[in-house]
Amino acid sequence: MNKKLIALAVAGASLAPVVASAQTANPVTLYGRAMVMFESVKADGGSATPLPSRNRVSDVGPSFIGVRGTEDVGGGLKAFFQAEFGFRLDDNVAGNQTPFSGRNSGVGLQGAFGSVLLGRWDTPWKVATIQIDPYGDTSMGGLTTGINDRGNFDRRETNVVQYWTPNLSGFQGRASYAANEGRTALVNPSSTSFSGTYTQGPFYAGIAWERHKDQYKPYTGAVAAAAGASERGQAIFGSVKLGDFKLGAMAQKFKKENPANGIASRSTEARAQMFSATYTAGKNVFIYSYINNKDSTFATAGVAPLPAEAVCKVNTLGYNYEFSRRTTFLAQYVQIKNNVTALCNLASNGLAGLSADQDPRGFAVGFKHLF
């Protein structure tokens, strides 16, 4: 029995690249990504002890394996499912592995009305804004260095229901609700997310809105449930292809309120912008992105005035050599400048122990393979 299962698994893996184009013959597809970078990183500046240069091999993608499929159930309807899990190619240390279905996973129904799914999935905000990141949110220079509230609005929500409209002449909308399963007598946390995008020829544009109810993430520290707290974000973005060039831009605004932190009427706002340019010459791809982030933070309870606004600027240079549609060599240099209160960090595998006013930087080379 075990030999038969192994044989089937090997056969499925060998057929994975062609299954996607033969859905009618086999509606289940095995797919994935393997991506590892060799990095040299450090941080200095400010009054804190510098974080010395160190080398590391990082699975920054992260790498993952997934399986998805569809079934025609009649009446113009199709059932679909997907299960993804991440794995790390650089090590197998306990705690570094992700659980099965830790990535986008769910089951749903699609038809002329659009698609509905239940499970665990990237929010419409994340799906829409990630399109402006020329690095695909998969490296140390990705957009969460200073965009998407430094990752707080770059969520893959659990216990979620989503609706996607059909593509209407290039227009598509998505809506998501993460259920309030964590409700107690004191807090009722949930989140909602919406996006509207337009894709036609060389143009891509859209807007996104997201709210986290009874949730709050301070400038430092983790997301926590907080009665009466609220986080709201708005984003507008777009990109255009002009021959061998692709230009992208995005502007975001966040407002946070937390009655338990300082004076109840106080709120804090953050603003961020991202600009990117990509030039393709045959198999060579040259990339540049710039991020500017300004984040006002709450004072400690009972302390006034608010601390100085945290400001960081991120410059990232990248080069890709595309051996094929599936295999790519990547190189990247990231430089982050933080002011006296800012703590922007590398997007993937950020430097531990970073202090305000320190400037992280890093150089990386590696490979990405899709299957």
Closest CA to 275 of 309, 310, 313, 311: 313
Q: What mean pLDDT is reported for the chain?
A: 87
Residue scoring higher pLDDT (16 or 295): 295
- CB-based contact 159:181 (threshold 8 Å): yes
Percentage helix, strand, coil for the chain under 3-state DSSP, each rounded to 5: 10, 55, 35
Indicate the number of domains in the chain: 1
How does pLDDT run across 80-90, given as a tens digit for each residue? 999 998 888 88
Tokens of 177: 């609700």
- What are the phi and psi torsion angles at 337 (to 5°)? -115, 115
Closest CA to 192 of 206, 204, 209, 207: 209
Q: What residue numbers bound the domain in which 77 lies?
A: 34-370
Q: What's the confidence (pLDDT) of residue 307?
A: 65
> Which residues fall within 8 angstroms of residue 132, CB to CB, at 6 or more apart?
143, 237, 238, 239, 248, 249, 250, 274, 276
Tell me whether residue 25 is in a domain. Answer: no
Side-chain-side CA neighbours of residue 42 (13 Å): 9
Using omega within 30 degrees of 0 as the cis cutoff, is the peptide bond preceding 166 cis? Answer: no
How does pLDDT run across 153-188, given as a tens digit for each residue? 999 999 999 999 999 999 999 999 999 999 999 999
Percentage of the chain lying above the pLDDT 90 cut: 71
Q: What's the confidence (pLDDT) of residue 43?
A: 96
Q: What's the confidence (pLDDT) of residue 2?
A: 42
**How confident is residue 11, by pLDDT bands cut at 50, 70 and 90?**
very low
Tell me whether residue 24 is in a domain. Answer: no
Residue scoring higher pLDDT (295 or 174): 174
Tell me whether residue 164 is in a domain. Answer: yes
Tell me whether residue 21 is in a domain. Answer: no
Q: What's the confidence (pLDDT) of residue 157?
A: 95
Q: What's the confidence (pLDDT) of residue 309?
A: 84
**How confident is residue 192, by pLDDT bands cut at 50, 70 and 90?**
very high
Side-chain-side CA neighbours of residue 351 (13 Å): 29
How does pLDDT run across 110-168, given as a tens digit for each residue? 999 999 999 999 999 999 999 999 998 888 999 999 999 999 999 999 999 999 999 99
Tell me whether residue 340 is in a domain. Answer: yes
114 - beta bridge partners?
111
Q: What's the confidence (pLDDT) of residue 349?
A: 86
The total of other beta-carbon atoms located within 10 Å of residue 346's CB is: 26
Q: What's the confidence (pLDDT) of residue 151?
A: 92
Tell me the mean pLDDT in the region 293-309. 66
Residue scoring higher pLDDT (265 or 242): 242
Tell me whether residue 329 is in a domain. Answer: yes
Residue scoring higher pLDDT (77 or 265): 77
- Assess whether pLDDT exceeds 80 at residue 299: no
Tell me whether residue 3 is in a domain. Answer: no
- CB-based contact 196:173 (threshold 8 Å): yes
Q: What's the confidence (pLDDT) of residue 269?
A: 83
DSSP codes, 306-343? PPPPEEEEEEEEEEEEESSSSEEEEEEEEEEEE-TT--
**How confident is residue 100, by pLDDT bands cut at 50, 70 and 90?**
low
Q: What's the confidence (pLDDT) of residue 82?
A: 96
- Assess whether pLDDT exceeds 60 at residue 8: no
How does pLDDT run across 313-325, given as a tens digit for each residue? 999 999 999 999 9
What CATH number has the domain bearing residue 299? 2.40.160.10
Tell me whether residue 289 is in a domain. Answer: yes
